[in-house]
Structure 1
Amino acid sequence: MAVKPKVLAAGPALIRAATAVTEEYERISSELGLTMQQARLLFILHRQPTNMLGLGSALRLTKSTMTGVVARMEAAGLVVRVPDEADRRNFVVTPTERGAQVAEEFERLLRTEVRRMLAVLEPAERDTLAVLLTAVIAGHED
């Protein structure tokens, strides 16, 4: 029989859960030869190629830091930069075929790990957790 864990207050529970997910994010990124920033960037780009300004904003990085991150990923063959048709002063960053494959593998591994973490909950509990976390995220983004 499994021992029931001590119930934590909401704040510490959220922090511990976020830490657990972040640890898995970091582990999976590392296994794929990526930093967490690179994994996040590939994840974003795989869904929607975007310009450098949009990436910097999404990752909360300065323009110079973003340029360095993208340059390293370009050198690794994960992304390419092409002039932005809408604004020739900017570049659109797109994953290469290899970058797209790495992004898909990252997403698959992370999804598997998160499902494993949530497997201790009943389906109705997962639904309730989703509603509650969505409210926390919305409150944070306001």
Structure 2
Amino acid sequence: MLGADETLTFADTLVRCTHLINHVFAEVSREHGLTPQRTQLLCMLTRGPLPMRELGRLLHLEKSGLTGLVDRVQERGLIVRQPDANDRRAWNLALTPSGAAIAADCHAAITARIEALAADIPAPVRSTVVSALQGLLQAHTAMTGRPWKLPR
């Protein structure tokens, strides 16, 4: 809770919101018997298979860390490795039917909780926040040359 004399900067507020989103993500993940990182992996695959190297970039994981994460999620029967048609050395990851169901459940639960937190914020203000955050994502892309979005 903010004290009467405490004012947060834009960056401070975003950092606090990041912690809040991480908390919601962790809570939903626990309810599904997953770690937040495993939930992130599943959610990233909801649009279709992705190359492991791309997932490593998106999750900020080195090859060995990603391999361990993928092994554990695959052991639960939530994803499968598929050979890459264009590169014999590479693998793509895809959701299994049970992985797709869990990913959809997690995504729905996370977005529902965030929407509930924002329920009292008027639509025009929400629209302004969305525009501002999209501006941050575009600025990141301009600065790094890497789009901040999932492929496809």
- Report the equivalent of 1:43: 43
- Report the equivalent of 1:59: 59
Structure 1 residues 108-139: Cα deviation after superposition (integer angstroms, max 9, x where no partner): 00110110111121000000010111112322
- Computed over aligned residues only, the root mean square deviation of the Cα atoms, in angstroms, reads 1.4
Q: Matched residues in 2 for 1:63 and 1:123: separation?
A: 42
Name the TM-score, length of structure 1 as normaliser: 0.91
Structure 1 gaps of 5+ residues are none
Q: Matched residues in 2 for 1:58 and 1:15: separation?
A: 19
Give the superposition deviation at 1:7.
Answer: 5.1
- Report the equivalent of 1:119: 119
Q: Matched residues in 1 for 2:82 and 2:128: separation?
A: 43
More helix by share: 1
Structure 2 gaps of 5+ residues are 144-152
- Report the equivalent of 2:150: none
Q: Matched residues in 1 for 2:101 and 2:42: separation?
A: 10
Q: Matched residues in 2 for 1:34 and 1:138: separation?
A: 31
Q: Matched residues in 2 for 1:7 and 1:129: separation?
A: 18
Structure 1 residues 58-80: Cα deviation after superposition (integer angstroms, max 9, x where no partner): 11111111111111111011001
Q: How many residues align?
A: 138
Q: Matched residues in 2 for 1:119 and 1:7: separation?
A: 23
Amino acid at match of 2:24: E
- Percent identical pairs in the alignment equals 31
Structure 1 residues 51-103: Cα deviation after superposition (integer angstroms, max 9, x where no partner): 11111111111111111111111101100112111111111111100000000
